[in-house]
């Protein structure tokens, strides 16, 4: 269980605006490195990777960040809903006008047909 230098290939950059664990990075205690790796074991030394911070303070921070993220998501969904409604309202107005115009055209077109028959 020693570092073979393979982990540097998977070295993860420090994410902006979020924590390393929150962005899915894992920590190898043997290689002393954060890596982007799907497995539970270090691809370099074979040691079990950390997926969560050890410090309780960090854990609370991570949880708060996740909660804030989900709140942001719901706000974004609400904003999208409002946008959809607004777009619908804008689209409906001209659609109705076109329909009435078509109705008028139909009525006008019906008149000569009725005379022919």
Candidate residues 27, 34, 37, 45; the one interacting with Zn ion per rule CB under 5 A? 45
- Judged by CB under 5 A, does residue 3 bind Zn ion? yes
CB of 15 to Zn ion, least distance (A): 20
54/116 with CB nearer Zn ion? 54
7/62 with CB nearer Zn ion? 7
Candidate residues 30, 50, 58, 65; the one interacting with Zn ion per rule CB under 5 A? 30
DSSP symbols for the chain: ----S-GGGGBPPPPSSS-TTTTT-EEETTTTEEE--SSSB-TTT-PBPB-S-SSHHHHHHHHHHHHHHHHHHHHHHHHHHHHHHHHHHHHHHHHHHHHHHHHHHHHHHHHHHHHH-
Q: For binding to Zn ion (CB under 5 A), which residues are involved?
A: 3, 7, 28, 30-31, 42, 44-45
């Amino acid at each position: 269980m020693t570092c073979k230098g393979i982990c540097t290939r998977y070295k993860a950059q420090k994410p902006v605006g979020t924590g390393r664990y929150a962005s899915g990075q894992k920590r190898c205690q043997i290689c002393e490195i954060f890596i982007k790796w799907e497995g539970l074991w270090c691809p370099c030394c074979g040691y079990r990777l950390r997926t969560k911070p050890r410090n309780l303070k960090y854990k609370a921070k991570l949880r708060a960040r996740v909660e804030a993220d989900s709140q942001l998501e719901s706000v974004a969904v609400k904003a999208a809903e409002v946008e959809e409604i607004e777009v619908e309202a804008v689209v409906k107005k001209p659609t109705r006008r076109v329909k009435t115009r078509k109705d008028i055209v139909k009525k006008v077109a019906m008149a000569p047909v009725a005379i022919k028959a």
